Amino acid sequence: MKAIANFFRQIKHYPSAVAGLIIIAFMVILAIYAVIAIPYSEAVRLWRGGEDVWKETPRNARPAWFNLFYKEKQSVTQIMRSTENPEVKTVVDLGNGVKTNDFVFEFDYPYDGFPTELAIFFTSTFKSARPNASVKWITPDGREIPMQDLTLRPSETYNISQDTRLTRRLGGATPHVGLFADPNNPNKVLKGTYKLVIEGLVFEEDANIEATFVVYGKLYGFAGTDHRRRDIGVALLWGAPVALSIGLVVAVGSSLATMVLAALAVWYGGWIDWIIRRINEVVMILPLLPILIMIGLFYSRNIWVIMGTTALLGIFGSGILSYRSMFLQVKTSGYIDAARAYGASNMRIIFKYLIPKVIPVLIPGFVTQIPSYVFLEATLAVLGLGDPSLPTWGKLLNDAYSRGALFNGQYYWVIEPAVLLILTGLGFAMVGFALDRIFNPRLRGL
Partner 1 sequence: MLNVETAPDRAVRARSRTSESIMRILRYTLVRGVTLFITIIIGVYLAILIANMGGYVDEMRKSSLKEQIEQSLQNDEEYKLLSPAQKLQRVNEIYALREAELGLDQPFLVRSLKYLWNGLTLNFGQAEYLLSDSGSRQVRNILGERLGPTLLLMATGQLFLFFVGIFFALFLSRRYGSVLDRIVVALAPTSAAPSWFYGIFLILIFAALLGWLPFGGMIDAPPPQGTFAKVLSTLKHLILPVSSIVVSSIFLTAYYWRTFFLIYSSEDYVDMAKAKGLSGRQIERRYVLRPTLPTIITSFMMTLIGLWTGAIVLETVFNWPGIGRLTQQAVNLYDTPIIVGTTVIYAYLLALTVFALDIIYALVDPRVKLGGGGTGK
Torsion over CA: 231, 236, 239, 241 (sign)? negative
Neighbours of 355 (CB within 10 A): 19
- Region of residue 409 (phi > 0: left; psi between -120 and 50: alpha; otherwise: beta): left
Q: Is 142 in the site for partner 1 (CB under 8 A)?
A: no
Strands 185-189 and 181-182, bridge-based pairing: antiparallel
Residue from 214, 425, 435, 438 binding partner 1 (CB under 8 A)? 425
Check binding of 426 to partner 1 (CB under 8 A).
Answer: yes
Is position 287 an interface residue for partner 1 (rule: CB under 8 A)? Answer: yes
192 C-beta neighbours (distance < 10 Å), count? 13
224 near partner 1 (CB under 8 A): no
Q: Residue 430 interacts with partner 1 (CB under 8 A)?
A: yes
Degrees to nearest 5, angle at CA 46 with 43 and 48: 105
Strands, E, within 232-370: which ranges?
Answer: none
Q: Does 420 bind partner 1 (CB under 8 A)?
A: no
DSSP 109: E
Give yes or no for a contact between 56 and 193, defined as CB atoms under 8 angstroms apart. Answer: no
266 binds partner 1 (CB under 8 A): no
**Least gap, CB of 19 to partner 1 (angstroms):** 9
CB 208 within 8 A of CB 103: no
Largest CA distance in the chain: 102
**Which of 10, 162, 208, 379 is the binder for partner 1 (CB under 8 A)?**
379
Pick between residue 18 and residue 197 the one whose CB is nearest to partner 1: 18
The answer to whether residue 284 forms part of the interface with partner 1 (CB under 8 A) is yes
Q: Interface with partner 1 by CB under 8 A: which range of 47-55, 159-167, 205-213, 438-446?
A: 438-446
Q: Which residues are CB-neighbours of 208 under 8 A, at least 6 positions away?
A: 101, 124, 125, 126, 202
d(CA 82, CA 97): 22
- Is 282 a residue that touches partner 1 (CB under 8 A)? yes
Please select the residue that binds partner 1; options are 328, 330, 336, 361, rule is CB under 8 A: 328
Per rule CB under 8 A, is residue 433 in the interface with partner 1?
yes
Instruction: For residue 343, state whether it binds partner 1 (rule: CB under 8 A).
Output: no
Binding window for partner 1 (CB under 8 A); candidates: 154-162, 248-256, 264-272, 378-386: 378-386
CA distance 371 to 373: 5
- The only residue of 21, 207, 214, 382 in contact with partner 1, by rule CB under 8 A: 382
Near partner 1 in 59-78, by CB under 8 A: none
* Residue in 105, 59, 85 with CA at minimum distance from that of residue 217: 59
C-beta of 370 vs 390, nearer to partner 1: 370
Alpha helices in 170-210 (DSSP H): 175-178
Phi, psi of 374 (to 5 degrees): -60, -45
User: Which of the 8 DSSP states describes residue 84?
Assistant: T
* Residue type (1 letter), 280: N
Residue 332 interacts with partner 1 (CB under 8 A)? no
Looking at 42-50, 92-100, 224-232, 279-287, which segment touches partner 1 (CB under 8 A)? 279-287
With respect to partner 1, which residue has the nearer C-beta, 100 or 322? 322
Other Cβ atoms less than 10 A from the Cβ of 83: the count is 10
Label residues 113-148 b or e (16+ Cβ within 10 Å = b).
bbbbbbbbbbbbebeeebbbbebebbbeeeeeeebb
Smallest gap from Cβ 318 to partner 1, in A, equals 6
Gap between the Cα atoms of 301 and 387, Å rounded: 5
363 binds partner 1 (CB under 8 A): no
406 near partner 1 (CB under 8 A): yes
Q: Assess 441 for contact with partner 1 (CB under 8 A).
A: no
Q: How far is the CB of 271 from partner 1 (least distance, A)?
A: 17
Q: Using the rule CB under 8 A, is 428 a contact of partner 1?
A: yes
Of 230 and 437, the one with the shorter C-beta distance to partner 1 is 437
Alpha helices in 12-151 (DSSP H): 15-37, 40-48
- In the complex with partner 1, the residue whose CB is nearer, 167 or 372, is 372
Q: Does 421 bind partner 1 (CB under 8 A)?
A: yes
Number of residues that bind partner 1 (CB under 8 A): 52
Nearer to partner 1, 58 or 314 (CB): 314
Contact set with partner 1 (CB under 8 A): 16, 20, 281-282, 284-291, 293-295, 297-299, 318, 325, 328, 368, 371-372, 375, 378-379, 382-385, 397, 401, 406-407, 409, 411, 414-415, 418, 421-422, 425-426, 428-430, 432-433, 442-443, 446
